[in-house]
């Protein structure tokens, strides 16, 4: 059996009881580590905390392993119980859907154990989940690569008054372009996009397009470490959020659409305050 198990968003204790029971009976446990991370990341202390709590050694599955060595994981699951741990919910990323398809094609039994993900946890700010449009991903811009396909999706959402969840790029164990051109992989340090970087890129694209989809006065909600004990949630304009210190990753951003009075009442609890600006405080948690 291949168990694909959601871990939730905070720390090792957010796994469900069903998920924990499944992990404990598996002979091999992998943890996906490139679409998202738990609040303590992949430090040796964080990993040992997970292993101690779950009672199993954990193999970190980076992008290369999942994309190039998935057959190895699936082969093991044909003859024994194997766990594949995913931060959030197992279907928060298309990669995991692909793994299920490949498993079923090979005749491997699959059991999915769900958990909370950013897709529903963002409801805490008061913006109603059924009033969201298509989710977009904001990638890091580079000197020679500045993808902006997310712009049309935001435009469509805002045209009908829907909110837009923006998932911000994380780059863990990514090979540098220079090393790839030389034929020998050398990995860049981990990078996690901040809300301020995302807003700067969004405004750059808007200026380049010359449109009127959003501007620095557009209302947004910024989230940091969603689901953890020290989560930060701040609502304000893009211009205001640029000056808020949201602290450590992971960050995400919602561009608000048309709002209901009840949504506005909830957002008022998270409105930007003077003390949240310029790093004096980590916002309205």
- Residues of the binding site: 9, 89, 92, 117-118, 168, 226, 251
Residue matched to tokens 């871990």: 7
Q: Chain-centre distance of CA 2, in angstroms?
A: 23
Q: Identify the sign of the CA torsion 277, 280, 281, 282.
A: positive
Per the DSSP assignment, residues forming a β-bridge with 236 are 220
The crossing angle, in degrees rounded to 10, of helices 70-79 and 94-105 is 50
Q: Which residue ranges make up the annotated binding site for S-adenosyl-L-methionine?
A: 9, 89, 92, 117-118, 168, 226, 251
φ/ψ of 225, rounded to 5, equals 55, 45
Query: What would the two tokens of residue 172 be?
Result: 């863990």
CB 76 within 8 Å of CB 45: no
- Residue 22, burial from CB neighbour count under 10 angstroms (0-12, 13-18, 19+): buried
φ/ψ of 85, rounded to 5, equals -90, 135
Query: What would the two tokens of residue 73 be?
Result: 């994981």
Alpha-carbon span 109 to 81, nearest angstrom: 10
């Amino acid at each position: 059996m291949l168990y694909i198990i959601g871990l939730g968003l905070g720390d090792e204790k957010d796994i469900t009881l069903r998920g924990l029971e499944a992990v404990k009976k598996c002979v091999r446990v992998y943890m996906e580590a490139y679409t998202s991370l738990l609040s303590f990341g992949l430090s040796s202390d964080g990993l040992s905390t997970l292993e101690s709590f779950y009672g199993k050694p954990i193999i970190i599955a980076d992008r290369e392993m999942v994309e190039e060595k998935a057959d190895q994981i699936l082969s093991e699951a044909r003859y024994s119980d194997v766990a594949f741990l995913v931060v959030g919910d197992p279907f928060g990323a298309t990669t995991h859907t692909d793994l299920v398809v490949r498993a079923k094609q090979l005749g491997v039994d699959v059991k999915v154990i769900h958990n909370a993900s950013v897709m529903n946890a963002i409801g805490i700010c008061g913006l109603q989940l059924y009033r969201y449009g298509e989710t977009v991903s904001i990638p890091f811009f580079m000197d020679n690569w500045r993808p902006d396909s997310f712009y049309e999706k935001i435009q469509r959402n805002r045209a009908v008054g829907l909110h837009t969840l923006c998932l911000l790029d994380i780059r863990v164990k990514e090979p540098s372009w220079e090393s790839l051109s030389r034929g020998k992989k050398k990995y860049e340090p981990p990078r996690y996009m901040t809300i301020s970087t995302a807003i700067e890129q969004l405004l750059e694209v808007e200026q380049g397009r010359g449109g009127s989809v959003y501007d620095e006065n557009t209302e947004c909600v910024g989230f940091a470490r969603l689901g953890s004990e020290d989560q930060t949630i701040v609502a304000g304009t893009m211009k205001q959020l640029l000056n808020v210190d949201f602290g450590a990753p992971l960050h995400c951003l919602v561009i608000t659409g048309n709002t209901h009075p009840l949504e506005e009442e909830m957002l008022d609890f998270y409105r930007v305050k003077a003390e949240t600006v310029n790093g004096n405080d980590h916002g309205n948690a």
